[in-house]
Amino acid sequence: MLTGMQIAVIGGDARQLEIIRKLTELDSKLSLIGFEQLDHAFSGAIKEKLDEVDFSNIDSIILPVPGTSLDGQIETIFSNEKVYLSEEVLMKTPPHCTIYSGITNSYLNAITKKANRRLVQLFSRDDVAIYNSIPTVEGTIMMAIQHTDFTIHGSKTIVLGLGRVGMSVARTFASLGARVQVGARKSEHIARITEMGLTPFHINDLAQHVRDVDICINTIPHLVVSASVISRMPSHTLIIDLASKPGGTDFRYAEKRGIKALLAPGLPGIVAPKTAGQILANVLSQLLQDDFQSRKGKVT
Ligand code: NAP
């Protein structure tokens, strides 16, 4: 339980509602900032404006998945007002206050460092990334169906990268009957791809494998689907780029060649906000309970 813990939830989308639900169930007290237009009321949670919150009592701050923009703005889909997080706000919190975010950027890193507050990036955790790969794959299947006139079954699908997302994508497309080849650079990844019953190739040889590719799914956050690779693809190829912005595809060249290339960020929040929110809520509630217990242990 989180009885007695004070948490500020600042901004976010439908995923944050699952976090709020879970944390109120655990009996924490929540200040909801950037939720004025939310119809639903949660017992134990009050809607406040940033300047109304007494940050000296706040044990944790929960930011939405993207954290902040590079100028400190926080996405608030349940409010018309702009909300900014600054070093000054963080300095008002007690030294033990921890900031939780999906991902971070140079701005968020800098203000948490200057204020000397701990920042936890949930998406850098393996458990969150692996659970999150499930709705990501479902979103990828949705895009493949929407943007092709052939079945996934029987298609030649290339997956680039055998990380947390790449492995789930490769396995699921193979289960749907696609002929899956996976490009990776580590010999252990090549071995794992072989063990999975899929066809491996070294990422440096990508250009030699795309002559008859139907669907190319990239998970590598570096430019790998380059102009020279795209120039060898058949014109019907669909490229779905899952890697974080700006992706790993030369989109300008793909457009010039008339090849459909889609950058598809944030699929879990689009196709399954409830599940994506529950994934974060489960991990977050465990981290907050651990944090709370270790602080209580230090006090007693
Ligand atoms: P990950 O576990 O770190 O996997 C990344 C993969 O890329 C690894 O196999 C890594 O191989 C490979 N890689 C990295 N740099 C490379 C390079 N220069 N050349 C060749 N291979 C390289 O990451 P993940 O969790 O799978 O996520 C992959 C991407 O998808 C990230 O950008 C993430 O933000 C994004 N993502 C998008 C969505 C969405 O909805 N679109 C959802 C979740 C995640 P090595 O081990 O050899 O480095």
> How is residue 240 written in tokens?
């779905």
Binding site membership of 165 for ligand 1 (Cβ less than 6 Å): yes
* DSSP label of 182: E
Residue 242, ligand 1, Cβ within 6 A? yes
**pLDDT tens-digit map of 231-287:** 999 999 999 999 988 999 999 999 999 999 999 998 999 999 999 999 999 999 999
- Please name the residues in contact with 212: beta carbons below 8 A apart, sequence gap of 6 or more: 156, 234
Which percentage of the chain shows pLDDT scores above 70? Answer: 99
Per-residue confidence band for 34, with pLDDT thresholds at 50, 70 and 90:
very high
Question: Which of the listed residues 125, 219, 244 should we mutate to test ligand 1's pocket, taking the one with most ligand atoms within 8 A of CB?
Answer: 219
pLDDT of residue 299: 59
- According to CATH, the topology of domain 127-265 is Rossmann fold (3.40.50)
Query: For the stretch 125-156, what's the b/e string if a residue is b when 16 or more beta carbons lie within 10 angstroms of its beta carbon?
Result: eeebbebbbbbbbbbbbebbeeebeeebeebb
Give the pLDDT confidence score for residue 41 in this predicted structure: 84
- So where are the chain's domains? 6-124+273-299, 127-265
Residue 184 has pLDDT above 80, yes or no: yes
Report whether pLDDT(300) > 60: no
Residue to substitute in 165, 206, 241 for testing ligand 1 pocket (most ligand atoms within 8 angstroms of CB): 165
Is the pLDDT at 127 greater than 70? The verdict is: yes
pLDDT in tens, 185-236: 999 999 999 999 999 999 999 999 999 999 999 999 999 999 999 999 999 9
Q: Which atom of ligand 1 is nearest to the CA of 264?
A: 41
Quote the CATH superfamily of domain 6-124+273-299: NAD(P)-binding Rossmann-like Domain (3.40.50.720)
Report the mean per-residue pLDDT for the chain: 95
Residue identifier of the C-alpha nearest atom 27 of ligand 1: 165
Pocket test for ligand 1, best of 244, 270, 279 (most atoms within 8 A of CB): 244
pLDDT score of 297 = 72
Q: For 80-121, what is each residue's pLDDT tens digit?
A: 989 999 999 999 999 999 999 999 999 999 999 999 999 999
Asked if residue 153 has pLDDT above 80, the reply is yes
Residue with the smallest CA separation from ligand 1 atom 15 is 220
Note whether 6-124+273-299 and 127-265 share their fold. Answer: yes
Looking at the predicted structure, is the pLDDT value of residue 57 above 70? yes
**pLDDT score for 120:** 97
Helix axes 273-299, 14-25, angle to 10 degrees: 40
Give the closest residue (by CA) to ligand 1 atom 23: 163
pLDDT for the residue 245: 86
Q: Is the CB of 218 under 6 A from ligand 1?
A: no
45 lines ligand 1 (CB under 6 A): no
Best residue for ligand 1 mutational test, from 122, 242, 249 (most atoms within 8 Å of Cβ): 242
Q: How far apart are CA 212 and CA 232, in angstroms?
A: 9
pTM for the model stands at: 0.89
- Is residue 161 in contact with ligand 1, taking CB distance under 6 Å? yes
| pLDDT band (50, 70, 90) for residue 292 | confident
How many A from CA of 280 to the centre of ligand 1? Answer: 20
CA nearest ligand 1 atom 31, residue: 243
> Which ligand 1 atom is at minimum distance from the Cα of 266?
40
pLDDT at residue 128 is higher than 90: yes
Which residue's CA lies nearest to atom 1 of ligand 1? 163
Mean pLDDT confidence for 68-85: 94
Distance CA 221, CA 212 (A): 24
Residue 246 Cβ < 6 Å to ligand 1: no
